[in-house]
Every structure is written in structure tokens, then in C-alpha cells.
Amino acid sequence: MRKADSLRTWLTACIEDFAKQPERLQIFIESGQILARKSRTLSFVYQYTAKVLVTDFAGDADRLFIPVLAWIEKEQPELLQRQDSQPFGFEAELLDSDVSDVEISIDLTESVLVMPRPDGSGYDTEHPPAPDFTNAFTGAEGVTFLQGFAHVEPVIASGDPGAVLTPGIPPTP
């Protein structure tokens, strides 16, 4: 699943601790389903909950949750439009006054377009980009989590669904 890999890459780039100790960031897929109907295409949707387990996290929770919100804004922006205003959930076990284990749950979907090759030799797939909900917040037009946190405006402007999000570094063409 592309989004789970993207989330790992993003969090590792945003939080230096994970680059130094990658075992402290674990990502699991739970409650996975395939959504498909008999139709003229073989296209389908992955639907699952990404569980992000962060062990021995020290410091302010904002340091973890703001990058998650920025990633959601790029990869699953409709979560920021939910009626309940809850783009993700979390649980934490306080190990001592400074260190916690944190589990984040994010409900994700990934559309997969399946296109048979004209010569009948198989098929190709495409993962279309998430819809653009720029200016989704009333009163905060033009402000995004990505811009405010990581200064990665060029990523949004690129329109490239395969662009790797790296804080402060625009994607390569």
C-alpha cells in the first residue's frame, strides 16, 4: 500500500529520531478491505486503517501530530473535511514523565485504476492523486499544514502523485 510507505518516509524525514532509530516507528495495516463492483473496469479501492506505533517518544506530542496532519493534507485531505473534525485517533501509554508509546490510527483509502493493455498482454495500474482541498478551512484561505510546518508548497503545486514529500525540499521533476 503506497500511502503506508509514504507515511513512513514522511515521518522519518520530519522527525530526526526515526532516521537514527527506525525501529521506533512501526506501521501496520488493519481492517483492510477491497472495494470493487462488477463493471466495465477492473478498478478498485483499498480501504484500511494505518496504525502507526511510535515507541519511546520523548517531547511534545505536537512534534509528532503536526507532521501527521501535514501528511494527511497531502495524501488523504478529505479527512480534514470530516463532520466530526477528527482526521485521526491516537492512544498513548505514558512510560514516565517525558517518554510515551503512541499509537495513531488513520483511516485511509487508495483508488487503483486498472487498465488492460491494448495488445492483451496484461494490465497496467495507476494510483490517482488525492483530491485537492486547498483552502478547505473557512477563515484560513491559502494556509496549509504543509506550508506552515515544512515549507513544501512546491509539492502541492507539482500535482505529481508520485512525488516524495521531503520537508523543505521540492520534489524532483
pLDDT score recorded for residue 14 = 92
Beta bridge partners, 124, equal 115
Checking if the pLDDT of 156 tops 90, the result is no
Residues 143-166, mean pLDDT to the nearest whole number: 46
Would you call 166 helix, strand, or coil by DSSP? strand
Checking if the pLDDT of 153 tops 80, the result is no
Angle at 110 between CA 105 and CA 114, to 5 degrees: 160
DSSP string, 11-43: HHHH-HHHHH-GGGEEEEEEEEEEE--SSSS--
Q: Which residue has the cell 482541498?
A: 133
For 24-41, the pLDDT digits (tens) are 999 999 999 999 888 788
pLDDT score recorded for residue 40 = 80
Q: Which three cell numbers stand for residue 35?
A: 472495494
- Which H helix or E strand runs over 105? strand 99-116
List Cα–Cα distances, 51 to 8, 43, 103, 138, in angstroms: 11, 25, 7, 30
Other Cβ atoms less than 10 A from the Cβ of 106: the count is 23
Q: How far apart are CA 4 and CA 144, in angstroms?
A: 22
pLDDT score recorded for residue 81 = 87
Please answer whether residues 6 and 75 qualify as being in contact, where contact means their C-beta atoms are separated by less than 8 angstroms. Answer: yes
For 54-90, the pLDDT digits (tens) are 999 998 899 999 999 999 999 999 999 878 888 999 9
pLDDT band with cut points at 50, 70 and 90 for residue 132:
low
